[in-house]
Structure formats: structure tokens, C-alpha cells
A and B are shown apart, each in its own frame.
Chain A
Amino acid sequence: MDLKNLTIKKFHEGLMGKKFSAKEAAETFFSSIKKEDEKYGAYLRLTEELALSQALSVDKKIDGGEKVGALAGVPLAVKDVILIKDEIVSGASKILSEYKAGYDATVIKNLKEENSMFLGYTNCDEFAMGASTENSGIQITKNPHDTSRVPGGSSGGSAAAVAADLTVAALGSDTGGSIREPASFCGVVGLKPTYGSVSRFGLMAMASSLDQIGCLTKTVEDAVILFQAIAGRDEFDATSEEHDWSDVMDFDAERAKGLTVGLPEEYFVEGLDAQVEKGLDEALGRFKKLGIKFKKVSLPHTSLGVSCYYIIMPAEVSSNLARLDGIRYSRIIKDDAIEALLDIYKKQKGEGFGEEVRRRIMLGTFVLSHGYYDAYYAQAQKVRRLICRDFEKAFDSGVDAMLTPVYPTPAFKIGEKASDPLEMYLGDIFTIPTSLAGLPGLSAPVKDYKVGSGELPIGFQLIGKKFREQDILGLGRLYETSS
């Protein structure tokens, strides 16, 4: 069984055509991961027992003539922040190294109902905080296209696993670019849905007003299939919404051609890497050839996005991570270090959290503290409103989606930005505004980048209106099928 470029679509055809069984697929993937993943470090833990039982149940259904869906038996990798019942899930943090999930995240529940198969947990920046996966408390993941470079982050393990054909597709989460940036660095497709499209129940909360679960896939077509399975209203997440996603699937290419795409001038500025600029030119040229109309637009508050984000996000982080106090979820410190309750809190967090997590908790504690709240947090939330309005105005001017770069450069070297947190933060400039406004964003490769070719992948970003995933997915699909 050939795992190369194996998509959800091809997997389904192979499974239905009896070219392989789900059990064979599981075994092939696990043997490939065990052999190949030493080079990349994409996986943290494999869930072999679970996968095998899922595979056997799919095979039984097919043998019994039962009808199964497009995701049946499909091997998926899961970012280490999404709960699968009875499996260890650690947020790539030492602090939860032995934490076993007590329930399934809603996305996992949905995918179990689709009879998908979970291969294991992938590496990420600790509690999804980072843009390179270097902040993982467990290991570093390398970019399959160049192992001296980062895969991006924070969903770096998921992106690397998809790029290296060590899974068919993966789940990730995106708070300020954590699906889109690694997708761009690794040459795969990454979808961050609209805030509210996908339930966050069972996702370890980082910044609750920004977090979204999404997917990393080999094609836009696969992203559509996976998105449909995980999207929808969930009673366990009051911010989730029901929408009619039926035309996501039946996307009419002719309708895509009728869309007008905005080019925000603030995203095409000096300082863009020459390779990124060239990649974006290529994408733009191909879209134009397809008949897509483009229009210049302006999003004047774009440059303030990073500052806005690095106040709001740490504020939410400091609140959300307070629960990991050594009393409830886990305790990693030795008993003899404990005299009073306060010792547990301090030592647990001091020893368990990595540098970046501690930095963000401290920053968040500061911006929420007495006397500083209005100057930092309240002002940031007002600027966030201005950023939202920028998008509303641009969309109101007759634009259906926007085309932008994902990241100012291709994948950078491991260690290159590790010592300078601010420099790392500034890289998020093109993905953050979308998150602050709660809009959907799709990162898709400019062309087909083969692992081993030596070429570094470049992605483009399509930003859509709220709950209009079908527009950006449709444009992405049109682009993908035109090559």
C-alpha cells in the first residue's frame, strides 16, 4: 500500500475497492511512522490499540455490507491539545505528562461516529503557544522539506506528519495562525474555520475568544470533507453555531469564478521575503487566469494586530492556565517539597511550565492587574474592534474574500528566532488580524511541493467572510484543480 500523497479521497476509494483493509492501513502507517518519524519528530505518542480497534470495526462494517462514509477508516493525527477519552494528552507540556483525558472532545466524538482512525498525538508548542513547535516541552519537530528548519507552529507536528505522508490528514488548532503558518511552511493545506464553526469542547483552552479547531490536509478537497465532519452547533460550546454547510461540498466552480477577491495593500509591503513575493505573484496570476476578479482594498489597522493580540491572548492565557495548579489535573512535584497548599501551586507551575508559557502568563497577569487594565487590555479590545471594522468595510465594498501572504518568510532555521520572543511574535502579522476578527482563513500551497526537492514551500492565505468557509474553500479547490 502506497502512502505517498494518500488523500482522504484516495484512501476511501482504495478501501471501498478492497485494495487494502483498514487494518492493513493501520499497520502500514504505524510501521512507516516507526521507521520514518525519527527524522522529523512529528508524533509524541501513538494510539495503536485504539486505532486497531477502530480499523477492525470498519473492516467488519464493510465486510457486513454496511454503508460507510468518506472518513471511515481514514488515519488521522491529532494535535496534543485535543482530548481523546482514556488517552494521555499533555498539551506537549511536562505539567500534564501523565494526564489521561476523561472524555472525548466533540470533534473526536464526531470523527468516531464517522469511523475514522486515530494514529496518535502530534507535537506542538506547549499548550499551542508558539510559531515554530520549538516551545514544546517534549521534543523539537523538524520540517520534512528541510530538517534544519522548523515546521512552523503551533500545530507543527500535525503539519509535518501530513507533509511526510505519516498520516492522511490531521487536526490542529489555531489561535493566531497556528494552523495556517505550519501549513504554509510544510506545503500542506490548513483551514482555520470561523470562530464558532467548530466546537471547542475538549480542546485545551489557550485564548478562548480566539481558539478554533481546524484541519491540516493534503488537498483542499480533503479539508472540505474533514471540515464538514467537525463543523456544527454543539450544546457543550455555547459559542458554536449551526450553519448550512451543504454548499461547501457542492461547490460550483462557476460560482467561484464570479467571486471578487480583495488584495489588502497593507499585506503587500516591503519586508516581504522575495520567495514569498514570487509565490504570491504566481498564485495571483493563476487566479486571474481562472477569471477571478481582483480589487485593491485597505485594512488600515493591520499593523496594530500583533500588539493587540499579544495583550488579549496572554490575558486569556493567564486566566485559562491557572487551573493547572497541581491540585486537579496532575501533580508532577515530589511530596517532600510540599508544606502548604501554596507550595504546590508555585512549584508545580514553576517546574511544569516552559519558558514561553511562563512568559505569557506573566504578561497576561500584568495587563489584567490593577491600574493597568484600562491602558492595556481595554484599549486592545477597542483596537480589536477597529480591526474587525476594517474587514467589514472591505467586505462591504463588494469583496467576497481576500488573498494575502501567510507569513513574511518561508520556514526559518531551528533556533533562529528562539532567543527573541518579540521577533517571533512579529512574524504572525498576516494571520493574527483574521483571528482577532473571528474570520475563516485558508492556507494553501502555491504549488505542489515535493519532499526531497529541496524547495521551501510557500502558501497563500484566503480570508473569508464569517461562516462563508465555502467561498475560500471553493476558491482553493478551483486553484488546486487548475494545476
Chain B
Amino acid sequence: MILKEKDVEHLAELARIEISSAEKKKLLQDLEEILEHVKELEKVNTEGVDPVTGGTAKKNEYRGDDEDVCVSTPPKELQDAFPDKDGGHLKVPHVFD
């Protein structure tokens, strides 16, 4: 066993996902099966192999600070896209108890 039920609870906490106890069992079983399978990578000799770090071989990319390379959205539209608001303010519940 790679994972225990309490690990699944911890992962759910880290991922900020609420899961039911029935789902916890199913998730544990699914994750266990997948992790058992991907364990085959352990056996591959990768000594001296540099890891891939992304989809592109390009190095640092900079773009000019030009007006035509930014998406300009009117503030009103941005506010409208926010789920909870009050006048011109964006609302979120309190962060601390």
C-alpha cells in the first residue's frame, strides 16, 4: 500500500476539495491502482539524464512593454465577471476566524 485513508484526507485538504467518505474509499482504491502501475518508472535507469522542464526548448522569452501586446478589458467588465460584488468592490468572505 502506497497510500492510506488519512493520506487521501490530507491530499484533499491540500487540494482544497471536499470529498465524501464514500468517495474517499473509491479514490484510495483508484489512486492506489494508478500509483502501483506508474511504479514501473522506478526501475528505469535515469542516471545522468536531465529532466524535461516543459513543452518547449526555448529559453527565457521577453516581450516588449507595448500597448498592442496586452489585453485591455474595461474595469466594469472585469467587475461583472466576478461572482460576488458590492458597487465597485469585489466581495470575499472573511479569511480568518
Main SS of the interface on chain B?
Answer: loop
A:284-330 near B, CB below 8 Å = 301, 304, 306-308, 310-311, 318, 322, 325-330
Interface membership of A421, Cβ < 8 A: yes
Interface membership of A346, Cβ < 8 A: yes
> Is the CB–CB distance between A386 and B73 below 8 Å?
no
Q: Which one, A41-49, A163-171, A374-382, is touching chain B?
A: A374-382
With a CB–CB cut-off of 8 A, which chain A residues contact B31? Answer: 359, 362-363, 366
Complex: A438 Cα to B56 Cα, angstroms: 8
Interface membership of A50, Cβ < 8 A: no
With a CB–CB cut-off of 8 A, which chain B residues contact A331? Answer: 83-84
Across the interface, B97 reaches (CB within 8 A) one of A326, A330, A340, A366, namely A340
The closest CB in chain B to the CB of A209 belongs to: B55
Interface membership of B77, Cβ < 8 A: yes
Of the four ranges (under 10, 10 to 19, 20 to 34, 35 or more), the interface on chain A belongs to: 35 or more
Complex: A381 Cα to B52 Cα, angstroms: 5
> Is the CB–CB distance between A386 and B16 below 8 Å?
no
With a CB–CB cut-off of 8 A, which chain A residues contact B41? Answer: 304, 307-308, 311, 376, 379-380, 383
> Is the CB–CB distance between B97 and A208 below 8 Å?
no
CB distance from A433 to the nearest CB of B (A): 13
With a CB–CB cut-off of 8 A, which chain B residues contact A236? Answer: 69, 71
Interface membership of B61, Cβ < 8 A: yes
Known: A341-B95, A358-B19, A386-B44. A369 touches B11 (CB 8 A): yes
With a CB–CB cut-off of 8 A, which chain B residues contact A36? Answer: none
> Is the CB–CB distance between A363 and B93 below 8 Å?
no
CB distance from B57 to the nearest CB of A (A): 8
> Is the CB–CB distance between A349 and B17 below 8 Å?
yes
Interface string of A327-363 (1 = CB under 8 A from B): 1111100000011111111110111010100110111
The residue among B17, B19, B31 with the most chain A CB atoms within 10 A of its own CB is: B17
Complex: A46 Cα to B65 Cα, angstroms: 38
The closest CB in chain B to the CB of A330 belongs to: B83
> Is the CB–CB distance between A346 and B16 below 8 Å?
yes
Q: A346-B16, A383-B41 given. 6 additional CB < 8 A pairs? A: A195-B55, A209-B52, A304-B40, A304-B44, A362-B17, A365-B11
Chain B interface residues toward A at CB < 8 A: 3, 7-8, 11-12, 14-19, 23, 27, 30-31, 33-35, 37-38, 40-42, 44, 46, 49-56, 58, 61, 63, 69, 71, 73, 77-78, 81-84, 92-95, 97
Rank and list the top 7 A-B pairs by shortest CB-CB distance, nearest first: A350-B18, A381-B51, A331-B83, A382-B46, A209-B55, A238-B61, A345-B16
| 25 residue pairs A–B, Cβ–Cβ below 8 Å | A102-B77, A195-B55, A235-B63, A236-B69, A239-B58, A241-B58, A304-B40, A322-B15, A328-B83, A341-B92, A341-B93, A341-B94, A345-B16, A349-B16, A349-B18, A359-B31, A361-B15, A362-B15, A366-B35, A380-B41, A382-B46, A385-B50, A385-B51, A386-B49, A421-B30
